[in-house]
Amino acid sequence: MAGRDGLSGNAGRSAVTVRRTFSRVAISPMLTVLSAASFAAYLYGSVPYAYIAARVLRKKNLAVEGTGNIGVTNAFKVAGPSVGIITIAGEISKAILPILAARCFFTDVPQAAYLLVFFSLVGTSFSVFLKGKGGKGTTAGLWSLLMLSPWSCLIMLATCAVFLNLAKWAPRIKRAPLLLLPAVMYLVEGDVLFTLFGIMTAVLFFLNHYRRKDDYRYYGIFQGGRDSADRKGPGAAGHT
């Protein structure tokens, strides 16, 4: 009996070892593919559509004109509607394509969408093609949230509208909705990993807001006039 028990115990341990081995073999290729996809998402997020369109169509350098931000608002103001529309389409694609890629190629890992979108936003903020400079990622971030959690997006839009109105009297309060983003995402979806994605995105957006000039303030959007304090010169190149 003792011998049989010993054999059974050894067989059980061997089975556990085999399962663990196969798990490592299965997980390792998935991590490799997911890492490669994250890098690809970063590279795609780094593509500065506004900069390219303004250079090609209007011979404008958005990095040194207007706010210096290579994004939607500055593209419209400096290079006109055609460049602005191209920029919007390009920035929206930075949300759509990573999510579609995650849903097509990582069906067993639904959280892969959060990772790919985040790396796309990192690319938008710290573009390898702009030597580490970038933009706020507002457009890409908004469309990412709309696709991942429509109700969270609607709540955040309403919250931002309220704070933008209050920002007429207290400009700094405009950034306050970023503090609420993870809480809204958790209350709506109840997903810890989705909330972690929200925290990381909020931190990224906070860094962008402090590193780059405010397009809305510079151009007097929602304020009725341009702020003279922001007319001194273009800020760091970026795309919104």
What's the confidence (pLDDT) of residue 229? 44
Cβ atoms within 10 A of the Cβ of 235, count? Answer: 20
Mean pLDDT value of segment 139-157? 95
Phi-psi group of 131: left, alpha or beta (phi > 0 → left; psi -120 to 50 → alpha; rest → beta): left
pLDDT tier, 37 (very low <50, low <70, confident <90, very high otherwise): very high
Mean pLDDT value of segment 128-147? 88
pLDDT tier, 41 (very low <50, low <70, confident <90, very high otherwise): very high
Residues 213, 230 contacting (CB under 8 angstroms) = yes
Has residue 223 got a pLDDT over 80?
no
DSSP secondary structure of 6-20: HHHHHHHHHHHHHHH
Has residue 164 got a pLDDT over 70?
yes
Phi-psi group of 126: left, alpha or beta (phi > 0 → left; psi -120 to 50 → alpha; rest → beta): beta
Domain ranges of the chain: 39-230
Has residue 200 got a pLDDT over 60?
yes
Residues paired with 69 in a beta bridge = 238
What are phi and psi for residue 110, nearest 5 degrees?
-60, -25
What are phi and psi for residue 238, nearest 5 degrees?
-165, 165
Encoded amino acid at 127, one letter: S
Has residue 45 got a pLDDT over 90?
yes
183-188-193 Cα angle (round to 5): 65
Least confident span in 63-77, 150-164, 192-206: 63-77
Cβ atoms within 10 A of the Cβ of 8, count? Answer: 10
Tell me the pLDDT tens digit for each residue of 59-107: 998 888 888 788 888 899 999 999 999 999 999 999 999 999 999 999 8
Cβ atoms within 10 A of the Cβ of 82, count? Answer: 14
Least confident span in 2-6, 60-64, 87-91, 125-129: 2-6
Quick one: DSSP state of residue 230? Answer: G
